[in-house]
Amino acid sequence: MTGLELRLRESLSSERIEDISIEQLTQSVSQLIAQTYIMVGYQTYNERDIGILAAKLSSDLRESYAYLTFPEVSLCFELGAKGTFGDYTGVNLRTFARWLKSYKTSDLRYHAVVERERERRQNALPPVSEAYKEERELAFLRKVFQQYKAGYPLERLYPARVYQSLQERGLIHDTPEEKRHAMSLFAHWRPPGHLPISEDYRLTMVRQQAMAWLLRRYFDGLITEEGS
C-alpha cells in the first residue's frame, strides 16, 4: 500500500462534512484555501477574497459533498494543486469544483471505499469456530453416506475428498498393504481413447480411483453392519 493510499484510508475514517458545524467548516476551508494558494506558488493573497471563497465553498461542500470527510477535501486540493486532475487556470471556485468532481469519481477513492467496506463486513462477522467447522464436515460425511446408500453414484460424491476426510478423523483404518493393493487394481489405468496425459496426472487418477475403491468397501461394510 502506497503512502497516498494509506492517507486516503485514514481520511475516510474521519468526521464527515455533514457532521461538522458550518462555523468550523468555514474556518477549516479558509485555512485550506490559503494553503492551496501557497502550494500553487502564490506569494501573497487577499484575506477578504479568501473569506468570500471559503463561505461559498463551504456552502457547496455541505450541499453537494456532505458525504466526504474534510481530510478527503484537503487531500483532493493537494492532488489538484499538483496537477493530478489535469491543468487548471487560476485558483477559484471553478477550479475547486473541478478538483472535487474529479476526486469523487477517481479510481483512487473508489478502490479505497470498496476495500474499506469489504473490511468492515469481514469485521462484522464473527470468526467461524473450529468446532463449527468440524460439525459441518461431519454433517457432510453423513450426508454422503446416506446418498450412497440411496444409490447415488459414488464417483459423483467426491470419493477421494471423502476418503481423506474420514482418514484424518480416524474413522477409516486401511493398512499400507490394503492401500497398495487398491493402487495395484488401477495401476494400468489410462483415459478413454488413450488421450495423451502426463504420468503425474495418470498417477493422481490412479490414487483417486484407489481411494474410491477403498471408500466403497468401507461404506459397504457399514451397510452390512447396519443390516445385521
The pLDDT-based confidence of 137 (bands split at 50, 70, 90) is very high
211 and 164 Cβ atoms separated by less than 8 Å = yes
Give pLDDT tens digits for 72-127: 999 999 999 999 998 887 888 999 999 999 999 999 999 999 988 888 887 776 77
Task: Say what the pLDDT of residue 228 is.
Answer: 67
The pLDDT-based confidence of 43 (bands split at 50, 70, 90) is confident
- What's the number of CA atoms in the CB half-sphere (13 Å) around residue 30? 14
Question: Which residues, in sequence order, are CB contacts of 57 under 8 Å at separation 6+?
Answer: 29, 33, 93, 96
Q: Which three cell numbers stand for residue 183?
A: 493402487
Alpha-carbon distance of 57 to 49, in angstroms, equals: 12
